[in-house]
């Protein structure tokens, strides 16, 4: 049964009350038409439960705007959802990615994540290409998808909204990696599931790194918002030499600050019996204490590493939840430790991630209890940085 407006509906009863499902929910393809966003195809999802999000087809099918009952969930930066035709990969010494960095979900990869790197390219057997030069978080986020389908699918009396596409990161004498992405949301729900499959379509042995930059904005992020996660210990922090310098701890978030410098942690997480790692940001004070949050669940075998990004600069206020295939020190560190993933022709990696709005204190308390059952999260706002790489 489909749950809408506090009651249960069959497929037949929904049909009897309207000429089309789009009166209640649906997915619609539109094209943005102004400014730096001009020309971007966008899929507008509405679940019928006050939950809506936009899939940016021409930006790797990442998720841009996201809201629940009028409250923003995803972060929108000053860059807007910039058309990839304006992007220059090598701009600003590899930091050009920051000029297109906005939205709830920004995908990093497919052969490189984290800071800039000059990688030996002997595996491509092409003399003039001695190295592969990668900018911040790789190339994939600024590649348009080939949209292979979208719409609605009924399973008995439950309706699933979906879209699917292929993002190809390819070059001659280099990588030919395909990201096959599918997003599904049930009508009446306030969640969606992201199904990704990365395939080596080419015939060169190719490295693979993958990370989701999941960015939460106000009002989920606010002064006093809590980061809830099954943290076992914290192996690394970018500001480890002065954890308290900006008076911003990892667990309780602060309000917007002037001249704030980003803070990044890597946390070693515990998983539940099914291998799932649940992480959330919650604002208990939202709407007079009603509370709101966003939870993200990943599989430990798919994303063994997790980062927390704090950008509390005024005008750019955001916190990031970042599941990753590799540690925060990037490709050189992965090579040294023998942890870099290599894909032969036809090899693939699969990733399934669930995003869900926590609506009210009941949801928040249940999520809190679930995390406590997995692991006791460190209470200290400034955790001891262990330097222990699990």
Write the DSSP assignment of 310-332 as a string of letters: EE-BTTS-EEEEEEESS-TTHHH
**CB-CB neighbours of 124 under 10 Å:** 19
The pLDDT confidence band at residue 286, using thresholds 50, 70 and 90, is: very high
Q: φ and ψ at 98, to 5 degrees?
A: -65, -20
Query: How much is the pLDDT for 30?
Result: 98
Query: How much is the pLDDT for 390?
Result: 84
Query: How much is the pLDDT for 249?
Result: 98
The pLDDT confidence band at residue 78, using thresholds 50, 70 and 90, is: very high
CA 247/CA 103 separation, integer angstroms: 27
Query: How much is the pLDDT for 217?
Result: 98
Cross-strand partners of 71:
68
Cross-strand partners of 9:
2
Q: Are strands 318-324 and 305-311 parallel, antiparallel or unpaired?
A: antiparallel
Over the stretch 340-351, which tens digit does the pLDDT of each residue have? 999 999 999 999
Q: φ and ψ at 218, to 5 degrees?
A: -70, 140
CA 78/CA 373 separation, integer angstroms: 39
Over the stretch 300-331, which tens digit does the pLDDT of each residue have? 999 999 999 999 999 999 999 999 999 999 99
Over the stretch 185-207, which tens digit does the pLDDT of each residue have? 999 999 999 999 999 999 999 99
> Is 0.85 topped by the overall pTM?
yes
Torsion of CA 196, 200, 205, 208, to 10 degrees: -20
| Inter-residue contact 53 to 46 (CB < 8 Å) | no
Measured distance between the N- and C-terminal CA atoms of the chain, rounded to whole angstroms = 44
What secondary structure, in 3-state letters, does 72-109 show?
Answer: ECECCCCCCCCCHHHCCCCHHHHCHHHHHCCCCEEEEE
- Burial of residue 169 (number of CB atoms within 10 Å: 0-12, 13-18, 19+): buried
**CB-CB neighbours of 76 under 10 Å:** 17
The single-letter DSSP state of residue 385 is B
In percent, how much of the chain has pLDDT > 90? Answer: 98
Q: Which residue has the higher pLDDT, 235 or 1?
A: 235
- From residue 313, give the alpha-carbon distance in Å to each of 116, 183, 259, 307: 23, 31, 6, 19
Q: Which domains does the chain have, with CATH numbers?
A: 1-210 (2.70.98.10), 211-324+360-390 (2.70.98.10)
Query: How much is the pLDDT for 127?
Result: 94
Average pLDDT value for residue range 106-120: 95
| Inter-residue contact 197 to 350 (CB < 8 Å) | yes
Query: How much is the pLDDT for 90?
Result: 79
Average pLDDT value for residue range 222-247: 98
Mean pLDDT of the chain: 97
CA 119/CA 140 separation, integer angstroms: 17
Average pLDDT value for residue range 1-20: 92
Q: Are strands 176-186 and 276-283 parallel, antiparallel or unpaired?
A: unpaired
Over the stretch 36-71, which tens digit does the pLDDT of each residue have? 999 999 999 999 999 999 999 999 999 999 999 999
CA 216/CA 295 separation, integer angstroms: 10
Judged by average pLDDT, the poorest of 20-24, 89-93, 161-165, 376-380 is 89-93
Is the pLDDT at 88 greater than 90, yes or no? no
Average pLDDT value for residue range 119-140: 94
Query: How much is the pLDDT for 358?
Result: 98
| Burial readout 36-67 (b: 16 or more C-beta within 10 A, e: otherwise) | bbeebbbbebbbbbebbbbbbbbbbbbbbbbb
């Amino acid at each position: 049964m489909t749950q809408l407006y506090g009651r249960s509906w069959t497929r037949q009863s929904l049909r009897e009350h309207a000429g089309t499902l789009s009166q209640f929910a649906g997915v619609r393809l539109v094209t943005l038409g102004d400014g730096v966003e001009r020309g971007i195809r966008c899929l507008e999802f509405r679940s019928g439960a006050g939950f809506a999000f936009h899939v940016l087809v021409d930006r790797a099918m990442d998720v841009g705007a996201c809201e629940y009952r009028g409250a923003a969930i995803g972060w929108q930066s000053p860059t807007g959802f910039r058309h990839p035709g304006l992007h220059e990969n090598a701009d600003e010494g590899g930091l050009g990615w920051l000029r297109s960095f906005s939205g709830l979900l920004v995908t990093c990869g497919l052969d490189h994540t984290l800071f800039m790197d000059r990688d030996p390219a002997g595996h491509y057997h092409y003399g003039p290409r001695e190295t592969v030069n990668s900018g911040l978080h790789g190339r994939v986020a600024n590649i348009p998808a080939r949209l292979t389908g979208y719409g609605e699918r009924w399973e008995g009396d439950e309706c699933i909204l979906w879209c699917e596409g292929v993002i190809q990161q390819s070059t001659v004498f280099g990588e030919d990696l395909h990201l096959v992405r599918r997003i599904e949301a049930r009508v009446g729900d306030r969640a969606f599931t992201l199904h990704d499959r990365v395939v080596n379509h080419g015939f060169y042995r190719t490295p693979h790194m993958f990370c989701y930059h999941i960015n939460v904005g106000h009002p989920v992020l606010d002064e006093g918002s809590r980061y809830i996660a099954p943290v076992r210990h914290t192996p690394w922090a970018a500001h480890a030499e002065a954890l308290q310098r900006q008076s911003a701890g990892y667990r309780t978030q602060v309000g917007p600050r002037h001249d704030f410098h980003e803070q990044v942690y890597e946390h070693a997480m515990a998983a539940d019996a099914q291998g799932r790692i649940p992480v959330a940001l919650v604002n208990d004070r939202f709407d007079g204490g009603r509370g709101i949050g966003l939870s993200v669940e990943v599989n430990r075998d798919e994303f063994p590493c997790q980062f927390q990004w704090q950008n509390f600069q005024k005008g750019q206020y955001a916190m990031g939840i970042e599941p990753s295939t590799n540690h925060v020190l990037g490709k050189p560190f992965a090579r040294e430790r023998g942890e870099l993933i290599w894909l032969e022709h036809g090899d693939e990696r699969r990733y399934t991630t669930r995003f869900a709005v926590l609506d009210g204190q009941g949801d928040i308390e249940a999520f809190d209890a679930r995390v406590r059952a997995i692991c006791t999260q460190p209470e200290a706002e400034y955790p001891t940085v262990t330097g222990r790489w699990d």
